[in-house]
């Protein structure tokens, strides 16, 4: 049970949903205090039990933060499930795809990471410079070709020698 939790009364003039921001701040404080389970409960409360108004952006951001928490806790399968659920619900949310790609690269799943980063760039062209990062294993020419392929609706970037 979350101690000292008092829900704020709903507010009709709260279009930015300040209550969501307060919940995220509370979760961040719990994480900094090493109370990961309390932070998880805050995120779960917001995503699955909160009956009040929530913006779509706030929901996507909560998935993002919770997945990062699970990544920090080294529960990669839980983080992966959260990213899968979030990107199924928000299939054009580039930041979710980018964060998921970075996690998969850390887990050694480079082909999956390349596929995900291609999706991120497809939905947000400003992320195109990310394709040039060394971690993807692409030469400068391959990164440029990948950017063209993504722009044309092609597949994920591939490194030299990959099938």
Quick: pLDDT tens for 42-86: 999 999 988 777 888 889 999 999 999 999 999 999 999 999 999
54-70 burial, b for 16+ CB within 10 Å, e for fewer? eeeebbbbbbbbbbbbb
pLDDT higher than 50, residue 162? no
Q: What is the Cα–Cα distance from 38 to 76, expressed in whole angstroms?
A: 19
Q: Residue 122: left (phi > 0), alpha (psi -120 to 50), or beta?
A: alpha
By percentage, how much of the chain surpasses pLDDT 90? 50
Report the predicted TM-score, pTM, of the whole model to 2 decimal places. Answer: 0.76
* 96 against 137, higher pLDDT: 96
Query: What stretch(es) of the chain map to CATH 1.25.40?
Result: 11-90
Would you identify the CATH topology of the domain 11-90?
Answer: 1.25.40
Instruction: Compute the C-alpha angle 157/158/161, nearest 5°.
Output: 165
* 5 against 153, higher pLDDT: 153
Average pLDDT score over residue span 3-15: 47
């Amino acid at each position: 049970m979350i101690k000292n939790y008092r829900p704020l009364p709903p507010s009709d003039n709260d279009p930015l949903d300040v209550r969501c921001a307060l919940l995220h701040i509370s979760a961040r404080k719990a994480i900094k205090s090493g109370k990961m389970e309390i932070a998880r409960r805050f995120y779960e409360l917001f995503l699955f039990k909160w009956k009040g108004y929530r913006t779509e952006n706030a929901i996507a951001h909560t998935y993002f933060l919770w997945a990062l928490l699970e990544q920090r806790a080294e529960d990669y399968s839980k983080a992966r499930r959260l990213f899968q659920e979030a990107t199924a619900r928000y299939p054009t949310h580039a930041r979710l795809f980018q964060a998921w790609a970075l996690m998969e690269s850390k887990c050694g799943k480079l082909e999956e990471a390349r596929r995900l980063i291609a999706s991120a760039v497809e939905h947000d062209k400003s992320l195109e410079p990310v394709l040039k990062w060394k971690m993807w294993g692409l030469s400068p020419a391959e990164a440029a070709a990948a950017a063209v392929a993504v722009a044309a609706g092609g597949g994920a970037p591939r490194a030299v020698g990959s099938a």
